[in-house]
Structure 1
Amino acid sequence: MGWESELFALFDDLEAQASSLSATERLAEHVDRSRAEYQTVSLAGRLMASVGSEVSVRLNGVPGAVGGVLERVADGWLLVAAGDVDWIVSTAAVSTVQGASVRAVPEAAWSPLTRLGLGSALRRIAEAGEECVVHLIGGDRLEGFLRRVGQDFCELVEGEDRRVQLVAFSALAAVRSHG
């Protein structure tokens, strides 16, 4: 029976090698599939999973970072609350985000409220009559009151002479107001 034991040992060894090769192939396939799936993940999806988290956002045109609780993510903008100050941030101006969740929420699972654009958030500030600071992507800062909000711009009333400036959404990095 010695040769039978050796034969069974050989078969066991071959089976273990085949099982190991199969596991290696499955792992490589899993890694490839994970990479392929991850390329469909958007920044908005990662931010959506981070709602309620403390984040730090760096923006083009705004010195330093905007830090606070990420309260809302919607079409083209996000709301970061830092104490009694609210930041309406244009996602087009976002350069980095620190503190985001490792997860992502697929767009199909988003609330219908996420379809509200930047204009909706700015209208809330205009309706409240709150003084605000408008930060532009180029680095300029404007202070005043939002009067009206159009489709792709807002009217900012500045200074004692109450001059009106039209601010294009495409130039807007963030709006800081007291919430």
Structure 2
Amino acid sequence: MSWDAALLDVFEDLEQQASGLRLADRDAEVADLAAAAYAEVGLPERVHASWGAPVVVRSLGGLVLTGTLLRSGGDWLLVEAGGASWLVPLAGVVSVAGLSARADDATSWSVTDRLTLRSLVRRTAETDPRCRLHLTDGTTTSGAVLRVGRDFLELAAGDPGPGDRRRPAGTVVPLAAVAALRGAS
């Protein structure tokens, strides 16, 4: 092999090594960018991508709901379990098994999905105020939602008739203390 041919082989080898290093650097950069992008994904986006999936939701207070994820929003999820629909504040969720590996960007959500837990409780109570609450301390209570404030609800004991809002203020329950709630029926 001539000296010129050997020198060309050296240059070609060095160019291939440099190309390989560039590809390795690019792969590492892509992996870093993917990790950084995933670090911006929140639990609501993961949950939202899993509607219809069978899930197991563990909540503060020891409640375990095994059922189907029906809907979700920024601070809540709705699970059909044991023949009842449970509204679960995401703040009280300990873990969720069965979620898709995907995530849905919140900008693509419908107006309904953007409703807050507080709004849902208020609107549901307008139709039928009776509910059962599972609290984060493991206790349960039933009653009628009288009003919903910024970070609490008022719960009256008993079973009022439809539209009966003349009762005095009931027990105040911070929304942060609600692990899950469902209709009383």
- Per the TM superposition, whether the score is higher than 0.5 is yes
CA contact (8 A) 2:45 2:105 kept: yes
**Residue of structure 1 in register with 2:164 after alignment:** none
**In the TM superposition, what is the alpha-carbon distance from 1:95 to its structure 2 partner?**
1.3
1:176 matched to 2:175? The reply is no
- Give ranges in structure 2 of 5+ residues lacking alignment: 160-166
> Aligned-residue CA RMSD in angstroms?
2.7
Once residues 71 and 78 of structure 1 are traced to their aligned partners in structure 2, the CA distance between those partners, rounded to angstroms, is 8
CA contact (8 A) 1:125 1:146 kept: no
**In the TM superposition, what is the alpha-carbon distance from 1:20 to its structure 2 partner?**
0.9
TM-score, length of structure 2 as denominator length? 0.81
Q: Match of 1:176, as an amino acid?
A: R
Equivalent pairs counted in the alignment come to 178
**In the TM superposition, what is the alpha-carbon distance from 1:121 to its structure 2 partner?**
2.3
1:56-67 paired onto structure 2 within 5 Å: 56-63=56-63, 65-67=64-66
CA contact (8 A) 1:135 1:142 kept: yes
The residue matched to 2:104 in structure 1 has which SS? Answer: coil
**Residue of structure 2 in register with 1:100 after alignment:** 99
**Residue of structure 1 in register with 2:162 after alignment:** none
CA contact (8 A) 1:62 1:135 kept: no
Q: Match of 1:115, as an amino acid?
A: R
**In the TM superposition, what is the alpha-carbon distance from 1:11 to its structure 2 partner?**
2.2
The residue matched to 2:13 in structure 1 has which SS? Answer: helix
CA contact (8 A) 1:74 1:115 kept: yes
1:40 matched to 2:40? The reply is yes
Q: Match of 2:97, as an amino acid?
A: Q
**In the TM superposition, what is the alpha-carbon distance from 1:145 to its structure 2 partner?**
3.5
Once residues 106 and 115 of structure 2 are traced to their aligned partners in structure 1, the CA distance between those partners, rounded to angstroms, is 14
Where does structure 1 differ by over 6 angstroms across 4 or more consecutive aligned residues?
none
- Give ranges in structure 1 of 5+ residues lacking alignment: none
Once residues 100 and 111 of structure 1 are traced to their aligned partners in structure 2, the CA distance between those partners, rounded to angstroms, is 20
The residue matched to 1:52 in structure 2 has which SS? Answer: coil
1:121-140 paired onto structure 2 within 5 Å: 121-129=120-128, 131-140=130-139
